[in-house]
Every structure is written in C-alpha cells, then in structure tokens.
Structure 1
Amino acid sequence: MESEKIILDIVVDVQKDFITGALANPAAQANVAHLADTAKAHAETGHWMFFTRDTHPDNYLETREGRHLPVEHCIEGEDGWNLAPELENAMAGTEPAVCRVINKATFGSYMLPSDILDELMAHNKAVTDLEKIVIYGYCTDICVISNAMVLRAAFPETEIEILSDCCAGVTPDTHRTALDAMRACQFTIL
C-alpha cells in the first residue's frame, strides 16, 4: 500500500512588523487577507503547516543583521513579533495534522529542514512522502528566498512552489527579482 503524500506549507514571517509595524509594507497590507485565506484553505485540505517567525533579541541593533538593517523589528515578546491577526483568525479552528511555529534568528532557518525531518519521522513518513513544499510570506527578497534556498538544498528532489500572490517584497522590483532568481533555481512560481 502506497503511503499518503504530504503537502507542506512554509508560511514565512507573516508578522505585524512586516505588515503595519516597524517595516510596514503596503504590498503585504494589500495581500495579507488573501494570504490568510490561502493558509486556512490549505490547512483545511490537509496540508502540514509550518509558520516561521522572525525573532530578534533586545540587543538586535548590536547584531550583524542589526548593524546592516538598523530598524528594530520582531523583537521577541513585543507586539510586532506576533503573527498577523488576519492569519491568527483564519487559522483559528483549523486542525492540521501538523502545525508548527518556528522561531528563526535570521533570514533563513538553517534548522527548518531538521524540523521537517523530525515531523516526518514522528509520523512514520519519509522524505519521499513529501509531494511538494509550498512557500509564501514576507519578504520575498529576503526571508522567503532565503528559506526557499535552504529547503532546495535540503530537499533537492522535492517540488517546491512559491505562491507569488501571497508574497510581498521590500519593493515591487525586489519582489520580481527574487521571483526570477527562484525561477532560475527551479522553483515553480505560481
């Protein structure tokens, strides 16, 4: 008997600071409701759901990232660190088989592949049971592309889709540039 295939959503950094907070983004404001509806629909059809959360310490400005991006954001425990209320509300009442929140200290989560493998093992599944990974969130040109590349390296034979209408870059141009870069690295851009 063939094992049931898994579709895994990686919802990247859909946090208040990237929508209306310290790094407010009009494109994220414009699509957060659609993104939340998409996440809910996917959860209701059985996708495994992983939500990454950009997580910084109080001394963020003293970190390498903080020295290059000197805007305090996603400080752990502060309001801007929280997931968007649109996403929280959409996910309330859904019961995906797997639902994890992954705090990450920088753009790409190097532990994300291990977290996925841990869940596969906990459910007696193998990498070959992953039908595809679906990625969307903020910011296309920083954290979405970083996590996509980490996952491409870890799961080279797995189909990975990027939902471009559920992403927002720092600017429209950098959003398009990131999508083009991911297309060149054999991601499916929808």
Structure 2
Amino acid sequence: MKYLIVIDMQKDFVSGTLGSGDAKGIVPGLIRKIKEFEGEVLYTQDTHGSAYLQSQEGRKLPVSHCILGTEGWELIDEIKEADPGCRERSFQKDTFGSTELMSYLVKKNKESGISSLEFAGVCTDICVISNALMAKAFLPEVPVLVDSGCCAGTSTENHENALKAMACCQIDLR
C-alpha cells in the first residue's frame, strides 16, 4: 500500500495568520495529487489550545495559530471538497512531528506492508521535514519521498535547505 501524507494544510498556514503566497501556490498541484493518488491519503493538523502562547513553541513563535475548533485550525476548503473523508484520516498533533501517525504507519506496515510514503504540505522546513525524518526512523526500509513542488516553507531559502537536509538522509525528492 502506498500512502500520501499531507502535512498541516490548514487555513492558518495557507491564508491565515501564518499563510504565504508560496503556501497558496502549492494548492492546485496538491489537490490534483490528492485526487489522482492511488493509495491512502492521510492528513496531519497542527493543533494547539488557548494557552499556546505560554508553551515553549508559543514563546519562540508568538503567533496564535491552529487553535483547536477555530476556523484557522480547519483543513483548507479545497481539500475538504476534493476529499470529503479527510477528517476521518487526520491526525492532530501538538508539536512538529506526529507520533500517533507513526504508530499508525508502523501498525499498517506490520499488517499489510507499505510500499512507499510520500509527503507534501507545509512547512517544508518545520513539520514536513520532522514527519519525513520520523518516518525514515520508524520505517527505515520503506521508501520515503517528498514532493518538493507540493511543499512550501517558511521562506524559499528554508524550503531549499530542508530539501537538501532530507536528501542527505536518503529521502527521495520529486
């Protein structure tokens, strides 16, 4: 089984408080990829509580975002339209990488095998790289790919640096 893992394509990261033109720019290609993907599509959602600004991350990035239950926390409308069942295959995470997602993938690999994992989404240099590297650590024999054209970073330079780092760690780039 092949898996496409769409990282944090939430309103706050695309058009909200931490949104960017680069994030908006990957939406059409990502939607096409989701619709055409032959395998299972999973999603992550950055999820914080109202005390986010008092957390370690909140002190280092003092911008409230992806607060559970808010509009900004929701996956973008284009994803909900393209994949109406996306919420049932979404993993909430309160940090950059999702241990719950990794546990799910390890279980699936033991049950029926995983032929590949492909990552896309935002931010290349924070949550995409964190989850891709975790996948490489949890499932070292499963090919891990990142679609660079369907990822956006916090800046172009950070996006490119993250791609280089992942390539060094034997993650294939498209």
Shorter-chain TM-score above 0.5: yes
Q: Does 1:117 align with 2:112?
A: no
Residues paired across the two proteins, number: 173
Letter of the 2:131 partner, please give it: N
Q: What aligned pairs does 1:22-33 form with structure 2 within 5 A after superposition? A: 22-33=17-28
Q: What aligned pairs does 1:4-19 form with structure 2 within 5 A after superposition? A: 6-19=1-14
Contact kept, 8 Å, 2:47 with 2:94, in 1: the verdict is: yes
* Map of 1:79 onto structure 2: 71
Contact kept, 8 Å, 1:33 with 1:87, in 2: the verdict is: no
* Runs of 5+ unmatched residues, structure 1: 1-5
What RMSD over aligned residues (CA atoms) do the two structures have, in Å?
1.5
TM (normalized to structure 2)?
A: 0.95
* Map of 2:124 onto structure 1: 140
Contact kept, 8 Å, 2:7 with 2:43, in 1: the verdict is: yes
* Comparing 110-119 and 148-157, the one that deviates more: 110-119
* Map of 1:177 onto structure 2: 161
SS in structure 2 opposite 1:130?
coil
Which has more radius of gyration? 1
SS in structure 1 opposite 2:28?
helix
Q: Does 1:163 align with 2:147?
A: yes
Residue 118 of structure 1 and its aligned partner are, at CA, apart by 3.6
Name segments (4+ residues, structure 1) moved above 4 Å.
Answer: none
Whole-Å Cα distance in 1 between the matches of residues 156 and 142 of structure 2? 28
Letter of the 1:117 partner, please give it: V
From the two aligned structures, give the one with the greater helix fraction. 2
Percent identity among equivalent residues? 39
Contact kept, 8 Å, 1:51 with 1:101, in 2: the verdict is: yes
Letter of the 2:169 partner, please give it: C
Q: Does 1:187 align with 2:171?
A: yes
SS in structure 1 opposite 2:26?
helix
* Runs of 5+ unmatched residues, structure 2: none
Counterpart selection for 2:33 from 23, 38, 43: 38
Counterpart selection for 2:92 from 92, 100, 103: 103
Contact kept, 8 Å, 1:14 with 1:137, in 2: the verdict is: yes
Counterpart selection for 1:89 from 67, 81, 96: 81
SS in structure 1 opposite 2:115?
strand
Q: What aligned pairs does 1:47-86 form with structure 2 within 5 A after superposition? A: 47-86=39-78
TM (normalized to structure 1)?
A: 0.87
